[in-house]
Structure 1
Amino acid sequence: MKIPFAGFFFIVFLGLSCHVQAQKKDLPKQNKWGYVDTDFILSKMPDYQKAQKEIALLSDSWTEELKIKYLEIDTLYNEFQEEAVLLSLEEKTKRMEEIKAREDSLSAYRKDVFGFEGQFFQKKKEILKTIQDRLFDAIEQVAKEYKLQTVFDKAGDQNIIYVNAIHDYSDYVLEKLGLGDPNDVVR
């Protein structure tokens, strides 16, 4: 028996249709999602404010240290410029090498402190770790409590063009952190 061309497509379509219906039974009934604004939540956390101040002080301290070292090098260079006419070629070379060595050392130190994965980055990560852990634990609790499969961060790099405020779970996360506004009525 020969199956007409249109009949062949009907049989394939019917088979795929049954396969898709069988797979749908395994999926949750509703793919629920929500979003939070971590910038907003962090702004309400006193621990985060304290950590930000500590990070700023640390940054300022290292920046000031670098400024002092740059001024020392600048002073050496200015002294060299003033005395250059009186110095022998050998003394000029020696002083320029000393200035260059200090510049190289300072550049390496600046990179070690403020470079990618530098001391400042590591210290900042260490200071913020417990705060971030608390925040993500609270987000996870809210997601499980409200049966959310996906939670987006409005403050992150996500390109959310439009979001209905009904999906905002930031207030619930604040409540989990014990930072909810007692006068604010959460949906």
Structure 2
Amino acid sequence: MKKFLILLVLSLVAVAPVWSQKFGYTDMEYITSKMPEYQQAQAEMKKFSEKWAKEIQDKYAEIDRMQRAYMAEEVLLTDELKRKRQNEIKEKELEAREYNSRIFGMEGLLFQKKKELMKPVMERVQRAVSKVCSQRRLDFLLDKSGDSGLLYTNPKHDYSDYLIEELGIELKPKTGSKEKTAVTTGTAPAGNTPKQKSTTNKLK
């Protein structure tokens, strides 16, 4: 999907004079490998990941001990005690699965911790990207090391409003706003300069 969007953007800007656009590329893996704060964040992430993985491993080791103990004593247990021990094991298994999901699942604690640790690094990279693109008069900056592709785009090449208009989509003006959007009035954006879309590669 990301690659499709990148190709779509590039095909749209191709209708403008090619010589008026300036492209550049970078290697974010190489850049971040030289950033001490990125390496520190990665080290912190590894510590949290290993700590949580050990906790989950211990939970499953306890379940394994309970299962082996139950199998060894099963012939000596009454039906009531068997059901009780089986339920205890099932509860432990459910607890372990839920904890694993809470830590390593989508939007889990590991994901949240990564966002927290990487935020200052990403913000620093974003400032550098914007400054370099402005100084070097770049319209597009691509990352050759990842799937995100576009790190920076000049807003004058954003044709989103034109596509929305062509699709017949009406954008409702914000509550209390006295101005109508270019799409709802049927006119093109002034100077074709919607809000800047600048994205930073998700650092790995």
Asked if these proteins are the same fold (TM beyond 0.5), I'd say yes
Aligned pairs for 1:36-115 within 5 A: 36-115=26-105
Query: What SS class does the counterpart of residue 152 from structure 1 fall into?
Result: strand
Distance 2:111 2:83 in 1: 37
Corresponding position: 1:32 with 2:31: no
Instruction: State the shift of 1:158 in Å.
Output: 5.9
Q: CA deviation at 1:155?
A: 1.1
Q: State the TM-score, normalized to the length of structure 1.
A: 0.69
Query: C-alpha separation between the residues in 2 aligned to 1:28 and 1:148?
Result: 13
Q: Distance in 2 between matches of 1:54 and 1:125?
A: 12
Of 97, 104, 110, 1:120 maps to: 110
* Structure 2 partner of 1:130: 120
Question: d(CA) in 2 for partners of 1:153 and 1:137?
Answer: 16
Task: Between the two structures, name the one with larger relative contact order (CA 8 Å, sep ≥ 6).
Answer: 1
* Alignment RMSD (CA, Å): 1.8
**Structure 2: runs of 5+ lacking an equivalent:** 1-14, 150-204
Q: How many aligned positions are there? A: 135
Tell me how far apart the structure 2 counterparts of residues 120 and 134 of structure 1 sit (CA, whole Å): 22
Q: Distance in 2 between matches of 1:61 and 1:146?
A: 45
Identity over the aligned pairs, expressed in percent?
40
1:19-63 per-residue CA deviation (whole Å, 9 max, x = no partner) reads xxxx97xx7951001011111000000011111111001100001
Does 2:161 match 1:140?
no
Give me the whole-angstrom Cα distance separating, in 1, the residues matched to 2:95 and 2:58: 14
Equivalent position amino acid for 2:40 in 1: K
Deviation at residue 76 of structure 1 after TM alignment: 0.7
Provide the C-alpha distance between the structure 2 equivalents of 1:116 and 1:103, rounded to a whole number of angstroms.
20
Query: How far, CA to CA, are the matches of 1:123 and 1:129 in structure 2?
Result: 10
Higher helix share: 1
How far is 1:118 from its partner? 0.1
